[in-house]
Chain A
Amino acid sequence: MPTILSAQQVTKSYSSSGTDVVAVLNLSLDIEEGELVCMLGASGCGKSTMLNLFAGFTTPSSGRVLLRDRPIAGIEPRCGMVFQSYALFPWKTVRQNVEFPLRMRGLARSERRAMADFFIDLVQLDGFADHYPAELSGGMQQRVTLARCLAADPEVLLMDEPFAALDAMTRQVMQDELLRIQRQSGKTIVFITHNIDEAIVLGHRIVVMSARPGRIRRIIPNPLPQPRDIAVQTSTAFADLKTEIWREVEGEVAQHIVQSRLAGSAQ
């Protein structure tokens, strides 16, 4: 498969209250078309920064970010973002939110309506189409965001810990849904998570990140058979892979805890 998204020796630093912070340091990563890549790491490992770079919300301090071999300049609608904090339009109903990208694509009213209903059904929110986001729970709002992003039909889906706020059962259902959508549409997905199980269930490849500054620690191909149902999830292969990934992040997490304790006592 050809490379669709590519980060080439990307460094991103920004100044925060006078001091320079390096969020991502010299990171290179090629993402293939149709691939589901999970970026896994503790907080502060620059995974959200990478997503913002892919979406064109920010530009790298040095290095290049390419979509189909062309540098990303400005906000890139072909890389659709599923925001962690939903970013739904509070003045639009669920249906109007999902219809928004369809209108931007210039679809006719009747077609829009049908497609919006299709995506609302897909995320199991039928019956809530005329509700406003404030009337929904966090998990439901997250699903609206996913439906809205799918309706925009981007080439790449950028997902920033989208299921973090969901309860365990809804999350399982949503993961299955996402995998089904991914298989059917062949969409490329960059999925950020700090949950190892989620990364193993979803990822074709797992990019383990290290923090401060954000770098790639290791890229682990995921050999487990699909669908990764409960039988796979309780297999020794699954446990072995989880152990392997945990060994990579273990030191990182411990260090992170020590650092935040130090920061806490310094205040």
Chain B
Amino acid sequence: MTVQEQVISPAPRPIGWPDRSVVVSIGAVVAFVALWATVTGLEWISPLFLPSPSAVARAAGKLIVSGDLWRAVLASSIRVFAGFLLAAVVAIPLGISMAVFWSVRAVFSPFISLLRPLPSITWIPMTILWLGIGEQQKIVIVFLGTWVYILLATFEATRRVDPLLIRAAHNLGANDLTVMREVIFPGALPGILAGLKVSLAIAWSCVLSAEMIAARNGLGALIWEAKDWGDMTMVLVGMVSISLTVLAADAIANRVELLLQPWERHRRR
């Protein structure tokens, strides 16, 4: 083996000292919170309009101790997960079929064109009428708000699979089903997963709007109730919780993405 045929190793990362940009980012956040504390501490803005960071932290602490915050996060998360899973289960096979079979594409594309521009919030009146304001309605709202995006991402990703690989698989004796399962699906997987990650963020905004309009619990309901009491501190607690929950969901999604595509390990490292 020649020297150039050695396995290419990724560029070494400097160790020990954190990245300069991370230091600057942390500094920026600290400066922002300090500014927020100063503005509210000196009462340049009334606490009625903008509560201080310490008030938000205290309120959050109380909610965490009482367990109410976890219950709200959990309630919303379960709805997101159920609706999102349902959407993926329906949209991924359909998206692949649409990319592969022209007839499936012809049947479904007019409906998708019509459904795509509808924000999920427009489905809320009808779903409440049909399903009430319970769990089912929330899950259906998440489903309706995400499935089109997952489908379109799957469709595009499937269409972009290298036709040379499909030829090669047939040339090696594979039938259509094997090509579908072992070439087209894994070939489209990076695009499908990217679409799922985008849709996950959309799923969260769906569930929050549904909870704000009609729900007994969940992060959206928490914010909306606090609004009714004029309690901006609690509204901010809810907003920060949403941010952190969605970030955590994103981090989990990234881990899952890597686990599902071990062949990407080389590029990601």
Considering only CB atoms, which chain A residue lies closest to B260 in the complex? A91
Q: Distance in Å from the Cβ of B11 to the closest Cβ of chain A?
A: 15
Pick from B5, B169, B173, B187: contact of A105, CB below 8 A. Answer: B173
CA–CA, A155 to B173, complex, Å? 13
Q: Which residues of A contact B101 (CB under 8 A)?
A: none
Chain B residue at minimal CB-CB distance from A79: B171
0 or 1 for each of A39-81: is its CB under 8 Å from B? (1 = yes): 0000000000000000101000000000000000001110111
A104 contacts partner chain B, Cβ-Cβ < 8 Å:
yes
Q: In the complex the two chains form, what is the Cα distance from A104 to B174 in whole Å?
A: 6
Q: Which residues of B contact A134 (CB under 8 A)?
A: 263, 266-267
A16 CB, nearest partner CB in chain B, Å: 17
Q: Judge whether A80 and B171 touch: CB under 8 Å.
A: yes
Question: Among B78-86, B160-168, B241-249, which stretch is in contact with chain A?
Answer: B160-168
Known A-B contacts A89-B182, A90-B263, A132-B263; A75 and B171 likewise in contact (beta carbons under 8 Å): yes
A126–B52 Cα distance when bound, in Å, is 64
Whether, in the assembled complex, A169 has its beta carbon less than 8 Å from a beta carbon of chain B, the answer is: yes
Chain A, residues 146-188, CB within 8 Å of chain B (1/0): the string is 0011001000000000000001011000000000000000000
What residues of A have a CB within 8 angstroms of the CB of B162 in the complex?
87
Tell me if B's interface is mostly helix, strand, loop or mixed: helix
Residues in B with CB closer than 8 Å to A135 are 7-8, 266
Q: With a CB–CB cut-off of 8 A, which chain B residues contact A167?
A: 2, 4
A85 touches B171 (CB 8 A): no
As a 0/1 sequence over residues 178 to 221 of chain B, the CB contacts with chain A under 8 angstroms (1 = contact) are 10001100110100000000000000000000000000000000
A104 touches B173 (CB 8 A): yes
Q: Give chain B residues whose Cβ lies under 8 Å from the Cβ of A124.
A: 1
Shortest distance in angstroms between B254's beta carbon and chain A's nearest beta carbon? 18
User: Known contacts A89-B182, A91-B261, A132-B263: does B4 contact A100 (CB below 8 Å)?
Assistant: no
The CA-CA distance from A134 to B1 in the complex, in Å, is 17
Q: Is B227 part of the binding interface, using a Cβ–Cβ cutoff of 8 Å?
A: no
Q: Which of A113-121, A136-144, A219-227, A247-255 contacts B (4 or more CB under 8 A)?
A: A136-144
Q: Contact check, A85 vs B164: say whether CB atoms are below 8 A apart.
A: yes
The answer to whether A104 and B172 have CB atoms under 8 Å apart is: yes
Range for the number of chain B residues in contact with chain A: 20 to 34
**B171 contacts A81, CB within 8 Å?**
yes
Residues of B within 8 A of A89 (CB): 165, 168-169, 182-183, 186
A169 proximity list for chain B (CB < 8 A): 2
The residues in A between 82 and 126 inclusive whose CB is less than 8 angstroms from any CB of B are 83, 85, 87, 89-92, 100-101, 104-105, 124
Instruction: Indicate if the CB atoms of B173 and A101 lie closer than 8 Å.
Output: yes
Q: In the bound complex, how far is the Cα of B171 from the Cα of A101, in angstroms?
A: 9
Whether B170 is near chain A, meaning CB under 8 Å from some CB there, is yes
Closest CB in chain A relative to B265 CB, distance in Å: 8
A136–B265 Cα gap in the complex (Å)? 13
Shortest C-beta distance, A254 to chain B (Å), equals 33
How many angstroms from the CA of A258 to the CA of B67 in the assembled complex?
Answer: 80
CB pair B178 A104 closer than 8 Å? yes
- Please indicate the chain A residues that have their CB under 8 angstroms from the CB of B170 in the complex: 75, 77
- In the bound complex, CA of A60 to CA of B263 (Å): 38
Cα distance, A75 to B169, chains bound together (Å)? 10
20 further interface pairs, Cβ-Cβ under 8 Å (given A81-B168, A87-B164): A75-B170, A75-B171, A85-B164, A87-B167, A89-B165, A89-B182, A89-B183, A89-B186, A90-B263, A91-B261, A91-B263, A104-B172, A104-B174, A128-B7, A132-B266, A134-B263, A137-B5, A149-B172, A152-B171, A169-B2
Chain B contacts to A: CB under 8 angstroms: 1-2, 4-8, 162, 164-165, 167-174, 178, 182-183, 186-187, 189, 261-263, 265-267
